[in-house]
A and B are shown apart, each in its own frame.
Chain A
């Protein structure tokens, strides 16, 4: 059973471009979480999605950031008009059920975004 797959692993974008980060959850997992790790900081929650639904996006910046998890295909974290401050590692995690059930979430290896 393949783990959580994130791609690209490394992405370089110029200021003002768009960045798209993809996350394919583990087989059978319908819950996806996105996190951001800024330099010298911890793991910050961004958004929690179920298939076709955004459950909690309270950690997402109000502008330029969006996330989706369509019925088919990977979850996408989209950052429009990137700025240098968006440079970070973005981690995705998946689980088969919600956190209230005590299910472990499994992390991908992360996508490193560098804005130049």
Chain B
């Protein structure tokens, strides 16, 4: 079982703030890391799949980086909006998700 840890557990920011959070994982035998966005009462939605050390992916105001040697990935949100409020989950290739970071963006 591959344990991923996410921090912080929750985050409250003001609209317009930029923010970031972390997914940490064991650095050995890496294959892939997934980021998902999960809004309340909806199903998780894929954001990024990252497979190579140094990967950087971007979708609109959201971007992610990957460091497989030190075992972490960062998710960045630039200029947060209230609609970004959600729980952000990461998982390794075994698809066991971390506890998530719950982001609340206040107008």
Interface of A toward B, CB cutoff 8 Å: 33, 35, 42-43, 45, 48, 56, 58-59, 91, 93, 98-110
Contact = CB atoms under 8 A, between A and B. Distances in A.
Which one of B1, B31, B43, B93 has the highest number of Cβ atoms from chain A below 10 Å of its Cβ?
A: B43
Secondary structure type dominating chain A contacts: mixed
Given A48-B94, A99-B95, 5 more contacts: A45-B94, A91-B43, A104-B49, A106-B46, A108-B43
A114 to B, nearest CB: 15
Given A42-B89, A43-B44, A91-B44, A104 B34 contact: yes
Interface of B: 1, 31-32, 34, 38, 42-46, 49, 51, 87, 89, 92-100
Secondary structure type dominating chain B contacts: loop
Choose among B42, B51, B96 the residue with the greatest number of A CB atoms under 10 Å from its CB. Answer: B96
A100 B31 contact: yes
Contacts of A105: 34, 46, 95
B70 to A, nearest CB: 20
A29 B20 CA distance: 33
A102 B43 contact: no
